[in-house]
Amino acid sequence: MGRFLSLLQYFFTKRDSGTQQLVSFVRAVTGMAPLNLALYRVALQHSSIEEGPTSNERLEFLGDAILSAMVADYLFKRYPLKEEGFLTDIRSRLVNRDSLNGLARKIHLDKLLHYDTNLVKRSGHKFIYGNALEALIGAVYLDHGYDRCRKFVIERLIVNYISLKELIEHDTNFKSRIIQWAHKHHLHVMFRILEENQYEYYKEFTAQVLIDEKVMGEGTGRTKKCAEQMAAQQALQHIEQTE
């Protein structure tokens, strides 16, 4: 009965241009009409605009857990002979902050996200689009259930926009690579955690990589390991540009 009433509301509610744009976006990206449009409005509302239940942090928390479970299930079934280490590594590459940020831009989610540009720049939040994508996944899950949300995540996001073959072949263990490079050139490499910020539903770490006591890269992530990988990636990019 509740879903039927939601459908009636969807078809008979008058919409302004902003609402129509949101409905069109959700339909184009997910392949489904939004039943509870309020969920998607919250998913695209960053905490720099509004905090509490009207920001997307709670949906982001939910979407993060659902996305991780769905990707794990997908990889487990797709690669039945692969060991746990391989599956963990590929899942990490699929759902890391940088990957999700890029994926959010590909589906043009960045064009609809509401946020305070100045506050975001001052706070140093670099992955607001990827976080909003997780919030969108949380919204789809609440709106349509697990099975339809999984179809959206796997078929419309991963299959459409991510090449698993390239992901597997491309070595993204940046920390290991920067350590190998430093040892090859007889240089001392060290990682250190610069900041640890506690938000309402998650932590965020900022790490630096130093080579012979000179800062060569800085990165941010939900875990210390992820932050160190991002810092190592930046350092490698700097080295490639200067060599």
Question: What would the pLDDT profile of 36-73 be if each residue is shown by its tens digit?
Answer: 999 999 999 988 776 666 789 999 999 999 999 999 99
Q: Using the CB atoms, write b or e for 89-100: b if 16+ within 10 Å.
A: bbbbbbbbbbbb
98, 127 contact by CB (below 8 A): yes
| Residue that is last in its domain, among 116, 134, 169 | 169
One domain, residues 114 and 22: yes
- Mean pLDDT, residues 127-153 taken together: 95
pLDDT surpasses 70 at 138: yes
pLDDT surpasses 80 at 184: yes
- Helical segments of 55-145, H only: 57-78, 84-95, 97-106, 117-123, 128-144
Q: What percent of the chain has pLDDT over 90?
A: 48
One domain, residues 105 and 180: no
pTM over 0.85? The answer is: no
Q: How confident is the model at residue 108, as a pLDDT?
A: 94
Is the four-CA dihedral 155, 157, 163, 165 of positive or negative sign? Answer: negative
134 is catalytic: yes
Catalytic position from the list 57, 60, 98, 134: 134
| Residue that is last in its domain, among 169, 197, 213 | 169
CA atoms of 186 and 22, how far apart (whole Å): 55
* Those residues with Cβ within 8 angstroms of residue 32's Cβ, 6 or more apart along the chain or in another chain: 26, 140, 143, 144, 148, 152
171 is catalytic: no
Catalytic position from the list 60, 64, 98, 228: 64
One domain, residues 24 and 102: yes
| Residue that is last in its domain, among 104, 138, 169 | 169
User: Which residue reads 């670099």 in tokens?
Assistant: 126
- Domain of 198, CATH number, reads 3.30.160.20
One domain, residues 160 and 226: no
Domain that holds residue 132: 2-169
- Helical segments of the chain, H only: 2-12, 17-30, 37-43, 57-78, 84-95, 97-106, 117-123, 128-144, 146-151, 159-161, 164-169, 174-184, 224-242
One domain, residues 203 and 146: no
Domain count, the chain: 2
Q: Are strands 189-198 and 203-211 parallel, antiparallel or unpaired?
A: antiparallel
One domain, residues 29 and 98: yes
Identify residue 148 by its one-letter amino acid code: R
36, 2 contact by CB (below 8 A): no
pLDDT band for position 155 (cuts 50, 70, 90): very high
pLDDT band for position 203 (cuts 50, 70, 90): confident
* Those residues with Cβ within 8 angstroms of residue 168's Cβ, 6 or more apart along the chain or in another chain: 90
- Domain of 149, CATH number, reads 1.10.1520.10
One domain, residues 187 and 72: no
Q: Among 18-27, 28-37, 63-72, 89-98, which is the least confidently predicted range?
A: 89-98
59, 130 contact by CB (below 8 A): no
Identify residue 104 by its one-letter amino acid code: A
One domain, residues 143 and 188: no
One domain, residues 153 and 179: no
